[in-house]
Structure 1
């Protein structure tokens, strides 16, 4: 399925894989900074941004293929992938299915599969969506997305609560359904490109043990932890960007074949 996208910058390719219910600009607020060093391909999944919802259920293989095809069709034939949340699974599957295209991975606040903690979270998330109680859903998302200190600093509070639930993508239900089916545990041993795993150390939505599992499963993966909740782009965008740019600059400078 064609994905709505934009391409910015110049240099080595960098493909972005955003999270469930979000969009590429919301999850990656530093596109201009990334574009200073890379040709950034920023695409939205079906039901996000300007990409229409899919006709049927989303499949991880299809989403990974569509994301890769977006970059290749735009003339960016090889690229690193920066994945966030569910986008880490998309990135891992893309690297598995298209190993000649993917040169490196940065996997942030990610998961290999929905464990019991995440399934319970998804159950409540979906139930709140079904009730139509937007204020309850907003409170749930803010409580699980931000650390207590960040919650205390949010202003104006009532306006933020009112907007939080309405900010979810039109295809949010499709994304949450896909998230229940994701399982990339078997993919990890086959990943052979340089990989940085960024754990959100105070995350209660996708807790950091999920990122540690990813790092343990990929040979040679580097793990860093940032003191943030799941919404790292809101809480620690500068630290996240610095970690990403430092890693990718090292990959670019490494001799061919070096990890």
Structure 2
């Protein structure tokens, strides 16, 4: 379920992760995620440093500011669903300048956005999208620079919603971060996931004996 707290926020989702970790008996864990999940993981590491042993940030869409410009396509899609419903909203969006630009520059983003209109819970999920697109992880560059844990930051080109520059920025801000650029999903989805799995597997393997990964 979507719970009762509103508006949806990174604070809510980070609290949910901690609650799940508590129920699972995980005192210290590797926090990782894609896009929004990466921002949640980053917030967890900065706000609860004792709990997070390492970070895996894949295709981050946020750095330090709320509502970054690259979230505009998400906001646009969400607002159309909320205002017109999924079917009509999809038609309007598919004809928009945003869709035309993404078709040319980042077709994988366009495919994901159109998928939002096809969800059976499109209207409810659109509110999540609208709230989160206007939010941010609530951390600053000093918070991230203070992290003293291993981190893997993965980015790729041909992605307007998850700019490669965001991955560069976060990796550069952390002294123990490893940056990896992989094949864009828009170019070769199968290769993208093979390389992603390889990067994450190698990172976890190389840090498996690190003191920071041993649960306290």
TM-score (norm 1): 0.64
The reply on whether 1:58 has 2:8 as its aligned counterpart is yes
Pick which of 161-170 and 213-222 moved more. 161-170
1:242 Cα deviation after fit: 1.3
Match of 1:165 in 2: 117
Match of 1:125 in 2: 77
Match of 1:189 in 2: 145
The 1:175–1:242 alpha-carbon spacing in structure 2 relative to 1, beyond 3 Å, is same
The 1:62–1:121 alpha-carbon spacing in structure 2 relative to 1, beyond 3 Å, is same
Pick which of 54-63 and 161-170 moved more. 161-170
Secondary structure in 2 aligned to 1:124? Answer: helix
Q: How many angstroms apart in 2 are the aligned matches of 1:86 and 1:141?
A: 24
Pick which of 65-74 and 119-128 moved more. 119-128
Pairing 1:230-241 to 2, within 5 Å after superposition: 236-241=192-197
The reply on whether 1:78 has 2:28 as its aligned counterpart is yes
CA RMSD of aligned residues (A): 3.5
- Give the conservation status (yes or no) of the 8 Å contact 2:171–2:178: yes
Match of 1:27 in 2: none
Bigger helix share? 2
- Give the conservation status (yes or no) of the 8 Å contact 1:233–1:240: no
Secondary structure in 1 aligned to 2:163? Answer: coil
Q: How many angstroms apart in 2 are the aligned matches of 1:230 and 1:180?
A: 26
Q: How many angstroms apart in 2 are the aligned matches of 1:143 and 1:60?
A: 26
Q: How many angstroms apart in 1 are the aligned matches of 2:158 and 2:114?
A: 24
The 1:165–1:230 alpha-carbon spacing in structure 2 relative to 1, beyond 3 Å, is farther
Match of 2:172 in 1: 216
Pairing 1:36-185 to 2, within 5 Å after superposition: 51-110=1-60, 111-112=62-63, 113-114=65-66, 117-129=69-81, 130-132=83-85, 133-137=89-93, 140=99, 143=102, 147-148=106-107, 165-167=117-119, 170-182=124-136, 183-185=138-140
Gap runs ≥5 in structure 1: 1-50, 155-159
1:119 Cα deviation after fit: 4.7
Bigger strand share? 1
Secondary structure in 1 aligned to 2:208? Answer: helix
Gap runs ≥5 in structure 2: none
Q: How many residues were matched structurally?
A: 199
